[in-house]
Structure 1
Amino acid sequence: MRYLLRFVSLLLLLCTKVAWAQPQPAKLFASLPDNCPTPDAFAIAPDGSLTLSCPNFADKTLQGELFSISQTGDVTHLATVPSLQADNKANPMGIAYDEDGALYVADARGIKHGRVLKLTFVNQALVKTEVIASGFNPNGLRYHQGAIYVTQLKMPRVKSKNMTSGIYRFPATARNLKMTNTLQDKELIFTVETQNPKIQVGVDGLDFDSLGRLYTTNMGDGDIYQLTLSNDGRVTEQKVTATVPPAARIDGMVFDQYDNLYLAGFAQNQIFKLDNKRKLTKIADYPDNDGSNGQIDQPADLMVYDDKLIISNFDLMKGPGLRNSKHSKPYTLSYIQL
């Protein structure tokens, strides 16, 4: 099945051209404080504000933080993610709210210390933190119909020719589950081996369309997977529905109300749109920059919010294949008007 999917993926890459839409210049949505040097993921809070996670990998002396952002871009501190007696700080990445207002957090501390957390708030004050699962290194996160779906970019404990990555599913009612980080974990619902030898990382962002199908993208290969799920969250059908140029290294993804899918091209400062007819369009492309005027600067995640596409500028990683050349101020969020 893996090789059949890869063959279909190659056909899509050969047959599908990435179109250029009329350029949509990004603008500055919010300037972030010094304790948010690496903004990452978004979630829309019950009060309509935007919640932002800051793992703060650029400065290990800083705690992992959560911020609240208004529709006009005003930034206020929401909470510091608790370390819960662990020696190392929390690194909040993917986040999502449930229908009761609880916030689920992918705490990316590495395989030994990584966890999925449930944070309970009362009047925007953090009053309780619980561990859903641990023993793996979570990244992207979505909540859907009583369950939490989480990606892991790399699964080094899985013996395979190429790097294996995967998606886990946890009931929101679960507590203190221990993962082995192997294929034996029953919570692991999807895995894939990255074929690209130059970019050995796998699935990262994920989101659900209006029909409840789960989508994810392999960062190394550029494949966009459509996963059909059973009522208990198992994958009953999977297919590669489109392929983005692998050099883009797609990170976050989000659907709008019309089932158009927006994708953050982390490596090349690009934003793509896969419309509901499966036409792939590049809608933004920026050279190396400092993000001072709202330019897209290593986009990690995006969210459709108040007729805008809000984009977090991670601005940290550098090296071969990455346009970003250095980490620097200002720390920003950008937006593109939809």
Structure 2
Amino acid sequence: MKQFLIPALLSLSLVTSCQKKENSDSTSAGNETDTSAQTVATIGDPKLLYTLAAQYNTPDGLAIGPDSSIYLSVPNLANNTYPGVIVKFAADSVQLFTTLPPQPDTKHAAPMDLAFGPDGNLYYAENQYENSKDYKSRLMRITMQNGKPGKIEPVVVNFGLANAVVWKGNTIYLTDSQWDMPDNDKGSAVFHFKLDELNKGTVSLKPKTMDPHVLATFTTTVNETGVDNGADGLDYDSKGNFYTGSFGDGTLYKLTLKPDGTLASKETVKVSTPISCVDGLIVDRRTDKLYVCNSRTNAIQVVDPNGTVSTLVQNPDTDGKDGRVDQPAEVLLKGNRLYITDFDKPEKHFVNKKADQIHTMSYIDLK
């Protein structure tokens, strides 16, 4: 379970008055008539945590460091004229933790989910899919030196769309939302890598194969959104079972492992109500409830261990300035408080209709 404690106020240097002005030139994700987007219910009462400056336009992954500082990845995919960065939330301020080395061919860095390893170093998935479909995504490592970033280097290359990362023991698990096969162009996968192997040198994956690092594969059913991204968020429960879900079609999966770490079973989780999209997710290992970001419907949904689905937070299209969620992408749990990043970069037929100039994070207190 990812946990952290965040200060109450954002450093004023990150707040700009121009963020209050809606960007009429922002990229629209589709102006098609979509009555469902206009009629979604308003549920829950999320609060505004932070308003971020323009150079942090797509807040995404969250991780807690060994010193309890919080790290936020910002790929800046809504406006990549700004470089992808990682931001650190300190006790009394918000700071740029580090800029990131661009991928040599695409000339961009795009950090997604991130997590600290058992070696104390920070690992992040880099999503290059929007820059190149030619398997340029990477798993990156930031060597930590007395709490500061040292060498930044790739440890695994040739992903399609590297997305979520989770450490369990000495193994890191990673979703690739676009791991296609020769007979399946709607594929995705969960990978796993031992720390010992990462320390031996850069691992080069073999695209469009059942690379030995593949733990499980999935196929996305493409619907009216046209999105074929598959396995996205990733976490595990108190029994060591992993959960991931498809961004494109909302299918939720449970992976059970053998004692040697190989796959014992893959099953579709039977849910009481269909979930249309799974972005980031987290498991509260105290209860084994899953908190799922449904980016399509602007919602945080909860899946009980018995498969019952309820909606914790939902609202119509918004710019997020009042704390309402604005296409939630990731959740992080600390005690009874759930923190939410608002990615704000929609696809067609999403409740969120366009990327705007207000960039926010929200939270909600759980009962």
Does the pair score TM above 0.5? yes
Q: How far did residue 176 of structure 1 move?
A: 1.1
Please say if 1:32 is aligned against 2:57.
no
2:354 aligned to which of 320, 326, 335: 326
Q: How far did residue 277 of structure 1 move?
A: 3.6
The residue that corresponds to 2:8 in the other structure is: none
Please say if 1:177 is aligned against 2:203.
yes
Find the aligned partners of 1:328 and 1:244 in 2 and give their Cα distance. Answer: 34
CA contact (8 A) 2:106 2:128 kept: no
Find the aligned partners of 2:358 and 2:89 in 1 and give their Cα distance. Answer: 17
Instruction: Identify unmatched segments of 5+ residues in structure 2.
Output: 1-40
What is the 5 A alignment of 1:1-338?
Answer: 23-70=43-90, 74-83=93-102, 85-110=104-129, 111-136=134-159, 137-160=161-184, 163-173=186-196, 174=198, 175-198=201-224, 199-243=227-271, 248-256=276-284, 257-319=286-348, 321-338=349-366
The residue that corresponds to 1:18 in the other structure is: none
Change (3 A) 1:306 1:78: farther
RMSD of aligned C-alpha atoms? 2.2
Comparing 122-131 and 290-299, the one that deviates more: 122-131
Change (3 A) 1:60 1:84: closer
Change (3 A) 1:246 1:165: farther
Change (3 A) 1:327 1:292: same
The secondary structure found in structure 2 opposite 1:328 is coil
CA contact (8 A) 2:273 2:308 kept: no
Change (3 A) 1:197 1:292: closer
CA contact (8 A) 1:264 1:301 kept: yes
Deviations 1:81-134, CA, capped at 9 Å, x for gaps: 222655512100011112332111101113432110111122332112232211
Change (3 A) 1:84 1:164: closer
The secondary structure found in structure 2 opposite 1:139 is strand
CA contact (8 A) 1:52 1:68 kept: yes
Deviations 1:269-288, CA, capped at 9 Å, x for gaps: 01101123432111111100
Q: What is the number of residues matched between the two proteins?
A: 315
Change (3 A) 1:279 1:247: closer
Q: How far did residue 232 of structure 1 move?
A: 3.5
Deviations 1:127-159, CA, capped at 9 Å, x for gaps: 122322111121111111111111111234532
The residue that corresponds to 1:4 in the other structure is: none
Residue identity (%)? 30
The secondary structure found in structure 2 opposite 1:248 is coil
**Which structure carries more relative contact order (alpha carbon 8 Å, separation 6+)?**
2
CA contact (8 A) 2:271 2:308 kept: no
Specify the code of the residue in structure 1 equivalent to 2:48: L
The residue that corresponds to 1:13 in the other structure is: none
TM-score, with length taken from structure 1: 0.86
Find the aligned partners of 1:246 and 1:62 in 2 and give their Cα distance. Answer: 37
The secondary structure found in structure 2 opposite 1:287 is coil
